[in-house]
Amino acid sequence: MFVCLFVFVCLIIDSSTSEEPPAKRSRLETEDGEKIIAEFLDAVRRLSLREDINEDDMKTEFEKMKLNFMNSDNDYVQSILNSIL
């Protein structure tokens, strides 16, 4: 009986620490990617509305934001970038 209980507990612990199903992982990756894209677009919009910096500084800031976005480790974002670049 003790062995059965031990095996049962091990199965519960193993199932709770295993990775998420591929469909859920894919959905979460897509949701995270959409959030990253929305945040990038919002940051670009806010940058374009700023009046306190000159054009050169704005370009520099945009290049930093673009580089950060392009270096995202999100597969969804990378697949979109790869399809358009």
pLDDT per position as a tens digit, 18-52: 466 777 888 999 999 999 999 999 999 999 999 99
- pLDDT greater than 80 at residue 64: yes
* Residue found by looking up tokens 């049962």 in the block: 8
Q: Cα separation of 49 and 43, whole Å?
A: 10
Question: Does residue 80 surpass a pLDDT of 90?
Answer: yes
d(CA 14, CA 17): 5
User: Structure pTM?
Assistant: 0.70
The b/e string for 34-56 (b: 16+ C-beta within 10 A; e otherwise) is eebbeebeeeeeeeeeeeeeeee
